[in-house]
Chain A
Amino acid sequence: MSVLIRTENLVTRFGDVLIHDKLNFTIKEGEIFGLLGGSGAGKSTLMRQMIMLEQFAGGNLHVLGKPIRGISVKSAQSLRLQWGVLFQFGALFSSLSVLENVVVPLKEYTNLDKEQMHSIAKAKLRMVGLPDRVVQLNPSELSGGMKKRVALARALVMDPKLLFLDEPTSGLDPASARAFDRLIVELKHMFGLTIVIVTHDLDTIKNALDRFIILYDKKILIEGSMEDVKSMNHPALDHFFTSN
């Protein structure tokens, strides 16, 4: 299995505050990888650095074989076309309808005809469990959970290799959250997707993740699977895995 994302002594600072102190870990192709840690540990920041929304102070980060530090505009753009991102609150374009939100990347980057684009977008919307009646609605008319599903459909519409999910199950009811876990596992098997998730949801961690890192005190406390965690003893782990 090839390595899709690799960090090399990654250092992050906000002003004088050190957030990440030389992180080293790898994310392999075809795995569901979790970025875990308490609030303020810098999980989301780490994800935002991978998708080039935030800078890092030191070290380097390789995504799909390309070093992010000093990346050229052209390769940055080609990277962006190979991943999909689901933001915590969906980040749907409020001036576009649900269908248009999902179609937008297709319109911009393919020359399919309108019918094909719509059928792809509608299939993706069904895939994430949305009823057909929502396609013409505006994002402001949707519930929080529905917005997330639309955003997931938008993230998937270009058939990305790599999917980034920022707290995908927060704000969903338990049944929808578990359905979401099943969906991402299904997507992984079906399309060979590699999925990077920032999450707090213990059930997602147990059901969906193959491997994860836990950020603690600016460093990586552990990189591994649930099995590895069970054999390890650390007060921070108890706190993390028992407080729901």
Chain B
Amino acid sequence: MLSKKALLQIISQNSASVELHCSGAWNHDTIDEAKKQLLSLNKNSNLSNILFDFTGAEVFDSAGMLLIVETINKNVARGVAVTFINMLPVHQRMLVFYRKHYVSSNNAHNVEVPNFFERIGKTVYDSLNNFNAFIEFIGQSVWHLLLMFRFPSRFRFDALVKHLHSSGFQAIPIIGVTSFLVGLVVAYQGSMQLQKFGANIFIVEMVSISVFRELAPMITAIVVAGRSASAYTAQIGTMKITEEIDAMRTLGFHPFDFLVLPRMLALMLAMPLIVFLADIVGVFGGMLVAKMQLGLSFAEFIGRLHTEVELKNIIIGLAKAPLFGLLIAAIGCFRGFQVTGSTDSIGTQTTVSVVNAIFWVIAINAIISVMLTELGV
């Protein structure tokens, strides 16, 4: 049945009228030729009468029937009389049905594509709106934090513990390995240069100051941003789409108390602890390279660490950690609340959340680094 073609034969034709015989199967994969013939018929301007004879027309699918409907409509619209004979009752009903539901392709909806300037304007406007919304979000978080100090019973201790475990404790292995490798690489590259000057011993300051002040907090923050900012956005976004957040509100649970504050506090608490671990592992990586490449023993390394590297380096690194934690959690949660409508939006917001979190961690770290150096700290 499917192999049959839609046949359209012109039985008789004079200048004003034409008789057509349609037979075979009129399906989406068989109507190509019939369509071309009908199109050329539509262009014939002398026509005043068309007669369709459907003897032997077996099957119509929507594409086939719509082709007939389109031909009829176009010709009726330009004043050509169209008649059909010998149509099976079931096909007649289909024809009536499709004529009722036919939409001419002329009134197709055109989507307007915004021009270049319109797009720039829209992007700027959206970014400003987004920024305002983020500031508002931070404000709300602080307000709820203050409320929590006033009414400690609002504090969700079990949620905090849960997030400490999933965002902090479970991140330890990957952050440990990453910092170890970074410490190793920095020491390795540094030792090559220092050896040229015979300044082997300075590997201690080089590795430990850069790890303590910059690398450990940054690596930790980037890994945590990748793990937790995405998780927070996806969790909160899903809850928003499934109306769980609305359900919480109607039950009188404020989403900030239940969702945002535990996550923020968890990261602010967990970050310094993980950074401290990353400090140790990173410097250990450096120590290994110092021993292997420069022949500096562990005892010598640690001895020089005590005398030459000031405690403030560790403190600066650890002090940045809660700030990064707050930033990551705030961006992750904020993006979660920005999810609207469809599941598609969860993906978009999760991407934005991770990119924003990593970018702001790096940017703020750079600002702090420059500020402290200029201040001579």
Contacts and interface: CB of A to CB of B under 8 A. Distances in A.
Whether both chains belong to one complex is answered with yes
Nearest to A111: B29
B102 interface: yes
B101 A140 contact: no
Bin the interface of chain B by size. 20 to 34
Interface string B99-111: 0111101011101
Nearest to A109: B28
B118 interface: no
B293 interface: no
A190 B93 contact: yes
B108 A118 contact: yes
A95 interface: yes
B108 to A, nearest CB: 7
Given A140-B341, A140-B342, A141-B341, A190 B111 contact: no
A117 to B, nearest CB: 9
Interface string B70-96: 100000000000000000001001100
Contact of B66 (A111, A120, A191): A120
Contacts of B63: 110, 112, 116, 120
A124 B93 CA distance: 16
Interface string B334-364: 0000001111110000000000000000000
A123 interface: yes
Interface in B296-326: none
Nearest to B110: A136
Nearest to A96: B344
B324 to A, nearest CB: 33
B98 A123 contact: yes
A148 B3 CA distance: 34
B93 A112 contact: no
Given A95-B344, A119-B102, 20 more contacts: A110-B28, A110-B63, A116-B66, A119-B105, A120-B66, A123-B98, A124-B101, A126-B102, A126-B103, A136-B111, A138-B341, A139-B342, A140-B342, A159-B61, A186-B97, A189-B93, A190-B94, A190-B97, A191-B94, A192-B90
Chain A to chain B: the 10 pairs with minimum beta-carbon distance, closest first:
A140-B341, A94-B342, A126-B101, A140-B342, A122-B103, A159-B61, A94-B344, A110-B28, A123-B101, A95-B344
29 contacts: A94-B344, A95-B342, A95-B344, A106-B28, A110-B29, A112-B28, A116-B28, A116-B67, A118-B105, A119-B66, A119-B102, A119-B105, A122-B103, A123-B62, A126-B101, A126-B102, A127-B97, A127-B101, A132-B103, A136-B109, A136-B111, A138-B341, A140-B340, A140-B342, A140-B345, A157-B62, A190-B97, A191-B94, A192-B90
